[in-house]
Amino acid sequence: MNKSDLVASIAQSAKISKVAAERGLNGMLSTITTAIEDGERVTVVGFGSFSLVDRAPRLGRNPKTGESVRIPSRRAVKFNPGKELVQKIR
């Protein structure tokens, strides 16, 4: 499912226009993005939570040459699914 499919599904289930559904989805995504950038944890009860984690530097290996490569530290977004979501996909 891509973004346009998601917008169409939201519009149909909420009985609103696709424009309004897209505006709502964009607003939600923007709010989540800003919160994560600020280091906040975002929790949607029943769905899951998004948080920012720091990945430590490590040694990797180039699969083509077998040479060791230093992978620098970085920040990454982590998603933990909620209990209800996990139960539905089992």
For the segment 39-80, what is each residue's pLDDT rounded down to a tens digit? 999 999 999 999 999 999 999 999 999 999 999 999 999 999
Which of 26, 27, 28, 8 has the alpha carbon at shortest distance from 18?
A: 8
Cα(40)–Cα(46) distance, integer angstroms: 19
Q: Judge contact between 53 and 75, C-beta under 8 A.
A: yes
Q: What integer pLDDT is reported at residue 86 of this predicted model? A: 95
**What residues contact residue 53 under an 8 Å CB cut-off, 6+ apart?**
75, 76, 77, 78
The answer to whether the pTM exceeds 0.75 is yes
Q: What integer pLDDT is reported at residue 71 of this predicted model? A: 96
